[in-house]
């Protein structure tokens, strides 16, 4: 949930640490802090609020330092106050942490009995005290013993008094990446801060300990045996993780969608049809299973709903979609010959990881549709299908959703062909239409001014409904989530036919109702539902292809002809509506309040 960074090398540490925290800030921005070795002493500077507040406080600090650690926080234990900001210091130990120490109360009690005094409400400070209590002469031994006592998840970067210019790091359950470049060695919560220096990275396993010292990286096993790190090579470039001339990452990421879509789809088309063998998914996979269960969170879950609609429609394969955080606790009944799909941009969402592990323990093969190479989900799944959105930095997911959706189409066509519900010829037609959707997405991006005009009309809107049927309902859910999370408009999605069964009572002259229609067979019914809403005096908007005739209110045209692939252009419009509505209100589009991109706690 938080972002951590550590550096030791020949360069000035401060710009490396603050630059790294800027890349990690999407993980949380309640507070930020840095600790550096400066003239043989460890100094800490922390501030409540975004990194920019800390940067002001850091002016003139740490001129000599070549080594330090940093943190950007999404509050879990304790309010977003300076005293709860990391780094935390106890005795001779100063550390930053991402994760949750589940037995922190017990540890804190034990440490208080030993005379430690606590200044924060965090679980992290208990871990700092524990490590300090175990630290006699050897930091490695202290960390190894602490790992035996700590329950929960963590990635730590630790400075130990007595070991100047060294950063010690250890993980269990929380992500950590390490890299070495000409001028130093780094660890960080993810790859993005490293990309400015190197594209070679090492992903430590749970329990391994890393030591950064003046540009070198040493690795130790859980038993403290020295090991040789095996580095991976990242395809991501530093430019991909920058704004590239746009005002916001979200804006850039919306515009990258046609490219991301092409990069994800094209390599998986062979002889005119989807082929997933390079992803390790064997020919006939979808023929041999009796059911597919999709588990994910948030936007990825709504993509799963689209997956269900597409796969059931085309391949007649039953699909169940699960909110990952619910799956474990409702004692699901698994069918024989069932397979699962987990969908995740980060590959680090704790609830999705837990759902995946549970299903694998029950012997269910899991396909991961994941955007971040080397992430926990990418590493643990039975089959990993990487989407090629590139790094997604804005908290609101846009391009990652679109590439996940593209994969749902590939699955649906492939499964339909394998199960004989469509002919080879039809599969080729569908695949061609899928690749063609890129053009409609481009055209949708050109509608930005029209969307902005509509977004201005929402300036005073507090509540809004999206309605749709079938796939359009799944799209409505994603459209409403986008609007909620960045514009703070209370937007709800409703199955169009369901509105009149109670919720219509909430519709007033100040509550816009927006209907989505991409599926021609549902047009008449959804239009009737929109008319029912209009009759109650609320502002109405139709988002549909040009062929759908509507003369009772505003219409935003979806480029293309709608139908099976219509949602791919529709999603661009829904994202632009959320973007423009939030921008008109002057909000920070990349860092919506209370949220963090990567939710690594359950």
Candidates 343-351, 416-424, 488-496, 500-508: pick the segment binding ligand M6R (CB under 6 A): 343-351
d(Cα 591, Cα 50) in Å, to the nearest integer? Answer: 10
- Closer of 346 and 526 to ligand M6R (Cβ): 346
Closest chain position to ligand M6R (CB): 298
- Identify the DSSP state of 587: -
d(Cα 426, Cα 48) in Å, to the nearest integer? Answer: 58
395 is a contact residue toward ligand M6R (CB under 6 A):
yes
317 is a contact residue toward ligand M6R (CB under 6 A):
no
332 is a contact residue toward ligand M6R (CB under 6 A):
no
- Its sign, for the CA torsion 431, 433, 436, 439, is negative
Candidates 103-111, 184-192, 340-348, 427-435: pick the segment binding ligand M6R (CB under 6 A): 340-348
* Residue 597 among the catalytic residues: yes
Tell me, residue by residue from 467 to 506, as one string, x for binding to ligand M6R by CB under 6 A and - for no binding.
--------------x---x---------------------
Q: Pick from 189, 257, 352, 526 the residue near ligand M6R by CB under 6 A.
A: 352
- Closer of 124 and 397 to ligand M6R (Cβ): 397
257 is a contact residue toward ligand M6R (CB under 6 A):
no
Catalytic residue among 399, 484, 591, 597: 597
Per DSSP, which regions of 297-407 are E strands? Answer: 319-323, 338-344, 366-370, 383-386
d(Cα 401, Cα 406) in Å, to the nearest integer? Answer: 9
- Closer of 175 and 539 to ligand M6R (Cβ): 175
d(Cα 28, Cα 447) in Å, to the nearest integer? Answer: 32
* H helical segments located in 395-423: 399-418
Tell me, residue by residue from 273 to 302, as one string, x for binding to ligand M6R by CB under 6 A and - for no binding.
------------------------xxxx--
List binders of ligand M6R among 579-598 (CB under 6 A): 598
In DSSP terms, 37 is beta-bridged to: 42, 67
- Closer of 556 and 601 to ligand M6R (Cβ): 601
CA dihedral 469, 474, 475, 481 (to 10 degrees): 130
- Closer of 134 and 400 to ligand M6R (Cβ): 400
d(Cα 328, Cα 50) in Å, to the nearest integer? Answer: 35
572 is a contact residue toward ligand M6R (CB under 6 A):
no
* CB atoms inside a 10 Å sphere around CB 547: 10
Candidates 115-123, 392-400, 432-440, 514-522: pick the segment binding ligand M6R (CB under 6 A): 392-400
344 is a contact residue toward ligand M6R (CB under 6 A):
yes
Shortest distance (Å) from residue 597 CB to ligand M6R: 6
Candidates 64-72, 93-101, 381-389, 390-398: pick the segment binding ligand M6R (CB under 6 A): 390-398
DSSP for 495-556, please give it.
EGGGGGGTGGGG--TT--EEEE---GGGHHHHHHHHHHHHTTT--EEEEE-TTS---SSEEE
* Residue 538 among the catalytic residues: no
Shortest distance (Å) from residue 590 CB to ligand M6R: 11
- Closer of 147 and 394 to ligand M6R (Cβ): 394
d(Cα 58, Cα 577) in Å, to the nearest integer? Answer: 38
Q: Which DSSP helix (H) or strand (E) runs through 196?
A: none
Shortest distance (Å) from residue 389 CB to ligand M6R: 11
Give residue 443's Cα distance to chain centre: 27
d(Cα 23, Cα 573) in Å, to the nearest integer? Answer: 28
DSSP for 442-484, please give it.
HHHHTTHHHHHHHHHTTTT--EEEEEESTHHHHHHHHHHHHHH
Candidates 327-335, 395-403, 457-465, 566-574: pick the segment binding ligand M6R (CB under 6 A): 395-403
Catalytic residue among 2, 166, 303, 580: 2
The count of chain residues that interact with ligand M6R, using the rule CB under 6 A, is 16
Please give the residue ranges that form the binding site for ligand M6R (CB under 6 A): 297-300, 344-346, 349, 352, 395-397, 481, 485, 598-599
- Residues with catalytic annotation? 2, 597
């Amino acid at each position: 949930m938080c972002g951590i960074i550590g550096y030791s090398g020949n360069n000035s540490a401060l710009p490396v640490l603050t630059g790294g925290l800027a890349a990690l800030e999407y993980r949380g921005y309640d507070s930020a802090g840095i600790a550096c070795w400066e003239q043989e002493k460890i100094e800490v500077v922390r501030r409540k609020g975004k990194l920019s507040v800390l940067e002001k406080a850091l002016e003139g600090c740490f001129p000599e330092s070549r080594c330090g650690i940093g943190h950007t926080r999404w509050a879990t234990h304790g309010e977003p106050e300076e005293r709860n900001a990391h780094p935390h210091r106890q005795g001779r130990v100063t550390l930053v942490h991402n994760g949750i120490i589940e037995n922190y109360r017990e540890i804190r009690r034990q440490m208080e009995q030993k005379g430690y005094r606590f200044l924060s409400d965090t679980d992290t400070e208990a871990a700092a005290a524990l490590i300090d209590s175990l630290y006699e002469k050897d930091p490695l031994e202290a960390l190894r013993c602490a790992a035996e006592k700590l329950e929960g998840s963590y990635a730590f970067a630790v400075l130990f008094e007595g070991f100047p210019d060294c950063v010690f790091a250890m993980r269990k359950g929380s992500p950590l990446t390490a890299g070495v470049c000409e001028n130093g060695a780094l660890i960080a919560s993810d790859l993005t801060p490293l990309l400015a220096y190197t594209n070679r990275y090492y992903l430590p396993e749970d329990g391994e300990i890393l030591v950064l010292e003046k540009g070198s990286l040493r690795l130790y096993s859980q038993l403290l045996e020295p090991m040789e790190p095996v580095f991976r090579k990242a395809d991501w470039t530093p430019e991909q993780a920058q704004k590239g001339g746009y005002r916001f990452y979200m804006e850039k990421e919306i515009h990258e969608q046609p490219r991301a879509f092409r990069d994800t789809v094209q390599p998986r088309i062979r002889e005119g049809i989807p082929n997933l063998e390079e992803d390790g998914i064997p020919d006939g996979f979808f023929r041999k299973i009796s059911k597919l269960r999709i588990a994910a969170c948030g936007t990825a879950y709504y993509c799963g709903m689209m997956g269900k609609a597409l796969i059931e429609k085309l391949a007649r394969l039953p699909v169940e979609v699960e909110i990952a955080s619910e799956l474990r606790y409702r004692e699901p009944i698994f069918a024989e010959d069932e397979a699962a799909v987990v969908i995740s941009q980060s590959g680090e969402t704790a609830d999705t990881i837990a759902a995946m592990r549970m299903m694998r323990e029950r012997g269910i093969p899991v396909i991961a549709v994941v955007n971040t190479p080397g992430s926990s989900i990418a590493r643990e799944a039975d089959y990993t299908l990487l989407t090629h959105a590139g790094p997604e930095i804005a908290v609101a997911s846009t391009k990652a959703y679109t590439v996940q959706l593209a994969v749902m189409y590939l699955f649906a066509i492939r499964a339909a062909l394998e199960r004989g519900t469509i002919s080879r010829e039809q599969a080729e037609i569908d695949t061609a239409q899928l690749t063609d959707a890129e053009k409609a997405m481009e055209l949708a991006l050109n509608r930005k001014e029209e969307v902005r005009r509509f977004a201005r009309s929402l300036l005073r809107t507090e509540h809004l409904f999206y309605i749709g049927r079938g796939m359009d309902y799944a799209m409505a859910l994603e459209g409403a989530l986008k609007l909620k999370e960045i514009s703070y408009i209370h937007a709800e999605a409703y199955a169009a036919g369901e509105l009149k069964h109670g919720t219509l009572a909430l519709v007033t002259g100040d509550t816009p109702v927006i209907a989505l229609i991409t599926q021609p067979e549902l047009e008449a019914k959804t239009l009737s539902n929109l008319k029912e809403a209009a009759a109650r005096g609320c502002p109405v908007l139709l988002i549909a292809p040009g062929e759908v005739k509507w003369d009772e209110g505003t219409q935003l045209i979806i480029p293309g002809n709608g139908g099976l692939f219509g949602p791919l252009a529709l999603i661009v419009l829904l994202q632009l509506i959320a973007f423009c509505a939030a921008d008109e209100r002057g909000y920070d589009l990349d860092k919506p309040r209370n949220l963090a991109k990567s939710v690594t706690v359950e």
